[in-house]
Structure 1
Amino acid sequence: MKNFTLIGAAGYIAPRHMKAIKDTNNQLIAALDTFDSVGIIDSYFPNADFFVEFERFDRHIEKLKYEQNKHIDYTSICTPNYLHDAHIRMALRRDSDAICEKPLVLNPWNIDKLSKVEEETEKRIWNILQLRVHPSIIALKKKIEDGPKDKIYDVDLTYLTSRGHWYYTSWKGDVSKSGGIATNIGVHFYDMLSWVFGTVKKNVVHVHTHDRAAGYLEFEKARVRWFLSINYDVIPEPIKEKGQRTFRSIIIEGEELEFSSGFTDLHTKSYEEILKGNGYGIKETLQAIEIVHNIRHEDPVGLKGDYHPYAKNQLTKHPFLLK
């Protein structure tokens, strides 16, 4: 049984990490969040200690080590994107491995610096790249590997996940903290595309606003038109009529990839592999970080070239941004 701590216990994604820790028969002994609405901990680890101040959390971990000879094996990090780098460093210097949500960091050069901390501490940084353990994506990767070696696949990626007005007030609506829409909701898709189709060769941004982004990516084995949005208005009417606020689609050579299910236990599967030493480290995450960094800093070219059909949707301003 391994000892875990968790930083960022009140967020949306934290319960998946708590479940994964429990499902793999390990224990969460302490958690930290500046927000104290964390009753969900009781569903998994009611005896875990909880702190709202980093200093007391850090002191507690040190006391466990020196007074109870209790070592922290892993620190799970579920904090806002811009804090990942600092919390990973803290975890490694406390002699534990770090398991961090995506994106691992916001900028590619942070990867090199974190690699040095790994070397100094002899601890590991693991990234949750959950689509790599999704059965449909694993099957797709094998199909591409077994297919014609010189074939370049045409792919359309669409991911629409509605967000309310709260989004723009939260850290997620602040590009300096979240990295923007492509980083916040798209990085795991770019990682999946990299994993399946190889090295990226071209990255063009057609549209990039506060609530949507569209572009073209060319990989070794794929030409990808992509569109992301958090605006409910762009969701297709048939999906709205079903009462759904999310729509994801990957079309490869005119054929829809079915991966609407199978998401329930991806974090647990990721933890299982990490505990075996087979998880994904910082080198594997680099290309996706480079892709979203470039998207964030490229000037959109507009509706030119091979763009995603959804990019034609009228660009709208969110009411909050007009105040």
Structure 2
Amino acid sequence: MSSDVRNFALIGAAGYIAPRHMAAIKATGNRIVAAMDPNDSVGIIDSHFPESAFFVEFERFDRHIDKLRRKDDGRKVEFVSICSPNYLHDSHIRFALRAGADAICEKPLVVNPWNAEALQDIERESGHKVHTILQLRLHPSIIALRQRVADAVAADPNAMFDIDLTYITSRGAWYFASWKGEDTKSGGIAANIGVHFFDMLLWVFGPAIENNVHLLTWDVGSGVIRFKNANVRWFLSVNAEYLPEAVQAKGQRTYRSITMDGGEIEFSEGFTDLHTDSYRHILNGGGFGLDDALPAIRLVHEIRTAPQLKFASSTHPLAGIARRAAG
């Protein structure tokens, strides 16, 4: 085994997003030496790292990682990839840092902003880093959009853009029976399916100045946010009823759309390899850390806790349809 190969552990191996992390670790020429999940339906790992140790009990996983650290036989874990439920991210990041490893954690990094603020202290104490997956920052179309906006703002610091964000990713009944359906565990719909979009908007258009929530239910969220250089009306849902008819006719279950001043920003392609790009970015000394993640975590927390305001002329049109459907 080449000395350039880095050792990873994976927490949450049975999760929806875990295969993307497994594929990214393999594609970057590294290996998973240990994985953990209380659910043992993790056969997918055989397609990537069949030699990996596996545990269903965190205590035994913890002991194994500590043994690898002490034996110093070339299998010491350098990175812990975290794909566990959102509300466990904080604890699992702390574990990674205490184990002498960097953490690579799925979004949202944590559910509450004060959790991330506390992690900053532990990061400094441990000397290890916390990285998060903010893959839209690596999407070529979004990078081009950011440059386009930066050029416009350089010419006119008061430039403002009108943005519509619509993201519908259909989920079945299982979603609401799982931890994802509990706001205190998932962070609610804005965090669970929207945090990477809100991060992207902050990255492109600057800090949020005003945040108005018009609708927030178990399956829908909608509002208007004024950023430094954009007014954004947004609509998020996990309910297939709100998919455009043309999308439903094709049997598709997901719809993404961002328009700027009425023109569509095409970014539907290019998602496949973004986790691998994220890992390369981290392994090459880049990556996105706590300071990068905090603004979006604060914003989605504000959305989750904000009062719902009366609809206005700026309200996303799908919000009215959703409100009527809810009765």
Residue 89 of structure 1 corresponds to: 94
For structure 2, which runs of at least 5 residues remain unmatched after alignment?
none
For residues 57-79 of structure 1, the C-alpha deviation after alignment (integer angstroms, 9 at most, x for no partner) is 01111111223443211000000
Please list, as runs of the form range in 1=range in 2, the aligned pairs for 1:216-227 lying within 5 A after superposition. Answer: 216-227=224-235
> Is 1:34 aligned to 2:42, yes or no?
no
Match of 2:138 among 133, 140, 145: 133
1:239 to 243, 247, 251: 247
1:192-240 deviation per Cα after TM superposition (whole angstroms, max 9, x unaligned): 0000001110100000000001001111110000000111111111111
Pairing 1:11–2:15 present: yes
Stretch of structure 1 that moved more, 105-114 or 22-31: 105-114
Q: Over the residues paired in the alignment, what is the CA RMSD in angstroms? A: 1.2
Q: Deviations over 1:119-153 (max 9, x none)?
A: 10000000100000011001101111112332100
Unaligned runs of 5+ in 1: 319-323
* TM-score normalised by structure 1 residue count: 0.96
- When normalised by structure 2's length, the TM-score is 0.95
Query: Which deviates further from its counterpart, 60-69 or 104-113?
Result: 60-69
2:220–2:322 contact (8 Å) kept in structure 1 = no
1:197 and 2:205 matched: yes
Map 1:8-157 → 2, pairs under 5 A: 8-69=12-73, 70-147=75-152, 148-149=155-156, 150-157=158-165
Structure 1 runs, 4 residues or longer, greater than 4 Å off: none
In structure 2, the residue matched to 1:321 is none
Instruction: State the Cα distance separating 1:266 from its structure 2 match.
Output: 0.1
Q: Distance in 2 between matches of 1:182 and 1:293?
A: 8
Quick check: 1:257 aligned with 2:275?
Answer: no
Displacement of 1:309 in angstroms is 1.0
Q: Counterparts of 1:67 and 1:292 in 2: how far apart (Å)?
A: 43
**Percent identity over the alignment?**
56
Q: Shift of residue 305 of structure 1? A: 4.8
Task: Tell me by how many angstroms 1:170 deviates.
Answer: 0.5
- 1:240-319 alignment to 2 at 5 Å? 240-315=248-323, 316=325
SS of the aligned residue for 2:193 comes to helix
Cα deviation, 1:251-284, whole Å, max 9, x if unaligned, reads 0011000001000100000000101111001001
- Tell me the distance in 1 between the aligned counterparts of 2:298 and 2:194: 13
The one of 187, 191, 196 equivalent to 1:188 is 196
Deviates more, 1:151-160 or 1:303-312: 303-312
Q: Please tell me the residue identity of whatever aligns with 1:58.
A: D
Q: How far apart are the structure 2 equivalents of 1:56 and 1:306? A: 53
| Deviation sequence 1:9-42 (CA, Å, 0-9, x none) | 0011000000110011011000000000000001
Report the 3-state secondary structure (helix = DSSP H, G, I; strand = E; otherwise coil) of the residue aligned with 1:313: helix
Give distance in 2, aligned partners of 1:241 and 1:45.
39
| 1:303 maps to amino acid | F
Aligned length: 318
- Larger mean CA deviation between 257-266 and 65-74 belongs to 65-74
Q: CA deviation at 1:301?
A: 0.8
Q: Secondary structure at the match of 1:159?
A: strand
Deviates more, 1:169-178 or 1:65-74: 65-74
**Aligned residue type for 1:212:** V
| Structure 2: distance between partners of 1:312 and 1:65 | 56
Equivalence for 2:218:
210
Partner secondary structure for residue 194 of structure 2: helix
Please give the alpha-carbon distance, in whole angstroms, between the structure 2 residues aligned to 1:112 and 1:64.
Answer: 30
Q: Distance in 2 between matches of 1:301 and 1:133?
A: 34
Q: How far 1:111 moved relative to its partner?
A: 1.6
